[in-house]
């Protein structure tokens, strides 16, 4: 049981990520909460072994898979199955959302990707925007079962 402010906090790709549940050695899921600014979104990617479930708590996200684009606000839930290319983007000023990854074939590695690419912080806070090295992101993701297959979403006006 964790309170709203508890977990492992990371400045991760210009937003705040809090690992709530690590997959560890025997768990079949990981849980990470995010707070992201308008425009944030990962490159188009797919997970080799992990299904993803997003729950939007505050703000709005646009989910994209194939030609489908759906905006989900607070209370929305999005299921993104493994091996299907997808991305999302924060379309409100900020958004707070949860990502659950699960797998029945391997131990989920999404939480490891967050801690590998992120910088651990003791208090939850938004980082100052900075450069994100796309080659390092792609290398870490590939090593942890995530294939980058396209660019991140276009910047919002």
Give the pLDDT score at 105: 84
8-148 CATH, one of 2.60.40.740, 1.10.10.10, 3.30.160.20, 2.60.120.10: 2.60.120.10
C-alpha distance across the termini of the chain, in Å: 40
DSSP state for residue 91 in the 8-state scheme: -
Instruction: Render pLDDT for 95-128 as a digit per residue (tens, 0 to 9).
Output: 999 999 999 888 899 999 999 999 999 999 999 9
Give the pLDDT score at 80: 93
Give the pLDDT score at 146: 95
Residue keyed to tokens 């990371």: 10
Give the pLDDT score at 38: 96
Tell me which residues of the chain have a pLDDT lower than 70.
Answer: none
Give the pLDDT score at 92: 97
């Amino acid at each position: 049981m964790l309170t709203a402010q508890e977990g492992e906090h990371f400045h991760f790709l210009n937003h705040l990520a809090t690992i709530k549940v690590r997959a560890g050695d025997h768990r079949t899921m990981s849980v990470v909460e995010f707070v992201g600014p308008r425009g944030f979104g990962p490159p188009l990617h797919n997970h080799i072994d992990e299904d993803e479930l997003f729950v939007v708590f505050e703000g709005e996200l646009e989910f994209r898979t194939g030609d489908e684009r759906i905006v989900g606000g607070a209370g929305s839930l999005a299921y993104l199955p493994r091996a299907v290319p997808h991305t999302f983007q924060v379309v409100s000023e900020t958004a707070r959302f949860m990502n659950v990854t699960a797998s029945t074939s391997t131990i989920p590695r999404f939480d490891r990707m967050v801690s590998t690419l992120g910088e651990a912080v003791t208090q939850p806070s938004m980082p100052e925007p900075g450069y994100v090295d796309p080659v390092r992101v792609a290398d870490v993701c590939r090593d942890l079962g995530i294939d980058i297959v396209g660019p991140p979403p276009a910047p919002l006006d």
